[in-house]
Structure 1
Amino acid sequence: MIKEHQIDAELVQTICQNIAENVPVNAALPKNGLLHIDKLLPFICVYRYKDIDVYFSRLLKTQASYLIVEESIDIAHLLEAIRLITSEKFETFLILELWPNKDALKNQFQIYGPKDKSIETINALVEGFSEIKRALSTVSTKVIPTEFRHPKHLTPLLDINTSKKSGTLVIGISIPAVYQNTNTNELFSLFFRKFYSIFSETIKRAVYEFIRVQTTDAFENYLMLGKTHIDAATIASDTQLAEISERMSFLLRVTPVNSNEEWDKFEQNEFTVKPSFKYRLIAIDPELEKRKLFNIPIDLVEDPTLAFILRGKRLEIEKQLIMLEERGTDNFRFIGESLYGVIQKDVLDAAKYILKTYPKGEVIEGSKRFNSSEFAAHAQREIDYYAKKFPNLDLGIEIRDDVAGIMVSKSKLLINNEMDLDANRCDALIQHEIGTHILTYCNGKSQPLKQMYEGFEGYDQLQEGLAVMAEYLVGGLTVNRLRLLAGRVIAVQSMVNNASFIETFNLLRTAYAFPNRVAYSISMRVYRGGGLTKDAVYLAGLIDLMAYLKNGGKLEPLYSGKFNTTHINLIEELLYRNVLKQPILPSFLDRNEAKERLKKLRRGMNIVDLVL
């Protein structure tokens, strides 16, 4: 066919200059075409269209290097220029031409490639696309060895002889449009999300195999072939989610402001009258916030990994907004159970095992005590250390009468003014609150994604597991502390079984020998707002983290921000892709005793031995 349009030579020159200087390319081409090259890479995905398929275009946009162009435009010169620039670093170049097949009778991925060559690349495509079959059994994959590697009505991007001489491999892939209704073009949205995630992964793995076999500049991991730079749609969605989450201040809104006063009344009434907790006024309209929440165009986010993270966070925020509306009712608890999950049998068994192993708390005669001011003075030294690491953030300590015990809000350590603390627990609590919670907030603040400090969906579990592990690593995890974590699980289970506040309080102090004030504090945390199952995640997070370390998991990425165990692979991917920065690690990891204790964790430990 006759080409009608050429791409401007000056534009090609600018594109090549950007590629050579490793500057991201986002070039608009004639007739709504688009060239995107995130960084210097030895491949490109090409889609030539007559009438653009926006959904198929989104598949290509999951990649770090793609060309979406109207089929009448001559792109041979552009492709050759890109190949020449990349050849200065890479020995070969891969062109993947992809096109949609909307024939309802052909639910088949058809891979057109060379015979007996690039077998690893072809196999990676076959293996990847076979994952679609798990969700849609009618889909199949076929490899067709041929020199014909382009849509039937078009001319080849590169003839075979030329490609051989230039060290370029062309593979054609016909993609079945099974994510659409072929009669109405209606998108099967939920399936499409899975489809484009598998597609994205498959292309990267196939390209990685090509690079690994054909070049000497092998990437360390296929994930490094993903996008490094975050697009405007992602930044906008991330920012809007973070703004809603920050305005909500969920934990502060569901924490009683009168816990000390209610304890005094509870004790005076000989523990027979249920406390009446008061909460901060809710300074937002949850209905309006939900409207803003679902106006966020996450569907425009091209990166499957980032879209998954943002959708999960949106779901969590939605549930928290509903919980604020239902604060003080049973619905608060039920929605919270869907958010924080139910107690797993292994966690409940571990809690009972801990309390059986240590049926009573330790009483240390004559041990030194710290009041709130004395503890704050010690904590300030750690705050000062991290303030130097993060000079642009406002780290600080506040002593207040409207918080229960000790808690962190963003980069602030909040201390109850009536707090009384065993001096031997001082360092452990500092590393729990500052060396974990504040540090991960600060690391998250240094990342390009705001969710890294606001917290991914369900981030509390890993955060609390990491914080309790810090207590162990500095030698401050006591019998009383471990019993407390177990007691919280018992209290949550009691509440879920519909026991009253007083029944749970009595269970803790009679069956498990918790002191009255401790039993009250546990019960208050569990019954706040109408019932919050979150406190069970401390022990669950510790159990998950111990298993993760025993199985060889890396500790360092866990300090990158606030996320859950289920997100670790995603975080490692984003670190490989240089989307995220390497985190600053807690100072206590430099201590020799911490290093030795970490080795023990990696070898595997019984949870009750963490206090020995």
Structure 2
Amino acid sequence: MKIDGNVASKALLEIDKNIDKLVKQIELLSYVNPINIEEEKARFFSSKYLTDPVFKYPTINFDKFKLHRQLFTQSLESIEDEEIRNLYEDIIYAYSGLIQCIETIGNGKKFYYNCLHCFGTPTENDVENAKFILHFEDDNREVTSFQPKYSAKDAEVFFRTFSEAYDFDYRIDYSDKISAIAMVLNNIKTLVLNTNHTYSDNEIAVLTNHEIGVHMVTTMNGLLHPLKIFSHGFPNNEETQEGLAVFSEYMSNNLTITRLKELAYRVIAVDTLAKGYPFSRTFRLLHNQYDLDRETAFYITLRAHRGGGFTKDYLYLTGLKKVYDYYQSGKDLSLLLTGKVSLEYANEIQSLIEKGYAVPSKHITDSYTENKNTNKKVDFILRSLK
């Protein structure tokens, strides 16, 4: 269906284009990763885990107040379609919240409270789900698949080979200043690999399905619509996007108990923020009480405490459960691959496609075509989560 060329449609496309220009400057992950992780890790370990790290962050290169003002001066009243107008109101409030997050990075409680507004915090149910997962023993898989083997440069070859199944191109960059071992930067169509990490076969299998199979797929699909919101992101899209990405690990038979426990530890770490734990106390909880090795405990703690308290990490588990239930109910996953979209806006996405403002997904996550999971214990856990 073609877009109606009336004044209201032109107004919507103009507003959408304006917002797109503004939010291209807001890539939260570009700002929230400390630039001195390795130095502070060494200092923290030498202090016997007592002295909290003091992280430094990249300089913000945009005028925060001006960006807020430009967002809120969009003439949404010129969008006649009420459903679409409400969606764009939600979008403007969501992006204003992200700007507030970015402008308070490194500012302790202020950043944490802004994150609560954007991402929320684990409920009692979420924490119970995490503890339920932690009761299970790690997988008895071939230990060799978990052994570190590949440098970031070696890993690039695997990502390139995996990507041959998809009809798109993207850049691969390297960084020693990210807390994840790999991540997709949506606004510049780039996969970033962590040069401080040595990758195992299992991590390569997980990351190719997670980062390329979902995050890069939704990046590329998001660029194909008349409306740019599919590319820069719907409100609360992080939970759905991470849920889809971990679900791709599950469908490709790469979701292990070990990986589920990693997601559970993230929930536990984020929950400590609400309890007022400093970095060192969260670390000691994971390292001493839960017996995580110190490297793993450090990076899980770092992910939660960066910026002053980054709550997003609990959403991987909640998102996985929601996407798993969505799939089990027989609903169409391709609708959620149309871009950086949220499950809660599924009806609006369908409506936008029908009105000609969006198109069905061109690129489909390879693992979604057939459920290859053979791990009955993983299935039991996902069914049992509340």
TM-score, L = length of structure 2 = 0.90
1:44-94 CA-to-partner distances (Å, cap 9, x unmatched) read xxxxxxxxxxxxxxxxx7xxxxxxxxxxxxxxxxxxxxxxxxxxxxxxxxx
- Aligned partners of 1:22, 1:280: CA distance in 2, in Å? 43
2:361 maps to 1:586 = no
What corresponds to 1:103 in structure 2?
Answer: none
Residue ranges of structure 2 left out of the alignment (5+ in a row): none
- Aligned partners of 1:609, 1:379: CA distance in 2, in Å? 31
- Aligned partners of 1:415, 1:22: CA distance in 2, in Å? 40
Correspondence for 2:371 among 589, 595, 599: 595
Return the letter of the residue paired with 2:115.
G
2:145 maps to 1:369 = no
- Aligned partners of 2:12, 2:215: CA distance in 1, in Å? 26
Aligned 8 A contact 1:357 1:608 in 2: no
What corresponds to 2:44 in structure 1?
Answer: 266
Please show how residues 99-114 of structure 1 align to structure 2 within 5 Å.
none
Correspondence for 2:380 among 606, 609, 612: 606
Aligned 8 A contact 2:138 2:258 in 1: no
Aligned 8 A contact 2:127 2:268 in 1: yes
What corresponds to 1:3 in structure 2?
Answer: none
Deviation at 1:254, TM superposition (A): 1.2
- Aligned partners of 2:276, 2:173: CA distance in 1, in Å? 36
Return the letter of the residue paired with 1:256.
P
Correspondence for 2:69 among 282, 291, 294: 291
- Aligned partners of 2:30, 2:3: CA distance in 1, in Å? 43
What corresponds to 1:350 in structure 2?
Answer: 129
Counterpart secondary structure, 1:247? coil
Q: Which has the larger displacement, 363-372 or 450-459?
A: 363-372
Aligned 8 A contact 1:396 1:412 in 2: yes
Return the letter of the residue paired with 1:445.
L
How many residues in Structure 1 have an aligned counterpart in Structure 2? 377
1:164-215 CA-to-partner distances (Å, cap 9, x unmatched) read xxxxxxxxxxxxxxxxxxxxxxxxxxxxxxxxxxxxxxxxxxxxxxxxxxxx
Please show how residues 155-234 of structure 1 align to structure 2 within 5 Å.
231-234=9-12
Correspondence for 2:183 among 389, 407, 411: 407
Counterpart secondary structure, 1:248? coil
Correspondence for 2:110 among 309, 325, 331: 331
- Aligned partners of 1:468, 1:245: CA distance in 2, in Å? 26
Q: Measured at CA, do residues 419 and 596 of structure 1 come closer, stay the same or move farther in structure 2, by a change above 3 Å? A: closer
Return the letter of the residue paired with 2:153.
S
2:304 maps to 1:526 = yes
Return the letter of the residue paired with 2:314.
A
Aligned 8 A contact 2:2 2:356 in 1: no
1:472-520 CA-to-partner distances (Å, cap 9, x unmatched) read 1111112221111000100011111111111111111122222111111
Please show how residues 306-455 of structure 1 align to structure 2 within 5 Å.
306-329=84-107, 330-358=109-137, 364=143, 367=147, 369-386=149-166, 389-390=167-168, 395-404=170-179, 405-410=181-186, 411-455=189-233
1:88-121 CA-to-partner distances (Å, cap 9, x unmatched) read xxxxxxxxxxxxxxxxxxxxxxxxxxxxxxxxxx
What corresponds to 1:571 in structure 2?
Answer: 349
Return the letter of the residue paired with 1:607.
I
Counterpart secondary structure, 2:193? strand
Structure number with the higher helix fraction is: 2
Return the letter of the residue paired with 2:117.
S
- Aligned partners of 1:577, 1:530: CA distance in 2, in Å? 42
Counterpart secondary structure, 2:24? helix
2:27 maps to 1:253 = no
- Aligned partners of 2:353, 2:368: CA distance in 1, in Å? 21
Pick the structure with greater CA Rg.
1
Return the letter of the residue paired with 2:176.
D
1:389-428 CA-to-partner distances (Å, cap 9, x unmatched) read 24xxx51111122222211102210011111122122122
- Aligned partners of 1:432, 1:572: CA distance in 2, in Å? 24
Deviation at 1:368, TM superposition (A): 5.7
1:234-287 CA-to-partner distances (Å, cap 9, x unmatched) read 112112222221112222111112222222222222222111111110001211
Counterpart secondary structure, 1:421? coil
- Aligned partners of 2:138, 2:258: CA distance in 1, in Å? 10
Q: Measured at CA, do residues 301 and 321 of structure 1 come closer, stay the same or move farther in structure 2, by a change above 3 Å? A: same
- Aligned partners of 1:253, 1:299: CA distance in 2, in Å? 33
Deviation at 1:543, TM superposition (A): 1.1
- Aligned partners of 1:380, 1:356: CA distance in 2, in Å? 37
Identity among equivalent pairs (%): 27
Aligned 8 A contact 1:312 1:457 in 2: yes
Q: Which has the larger displacement, 499-508 or 376-385?
A: 376-385
Counterpart secondary structure, 1:397? strand
RMSD over equivalenced CA pairs, Å:
2.6
Aligned 8 A contact 1:358 1:483 in 2: no
Return the letter of the residue paired with 1:595.
N
Structure number with the higher strand fraction is: 1
TM-score, L = length of structure 1 = 0.58
- Aligned partners of 2:12, 2:140: CA distance in 1, in Å? 50
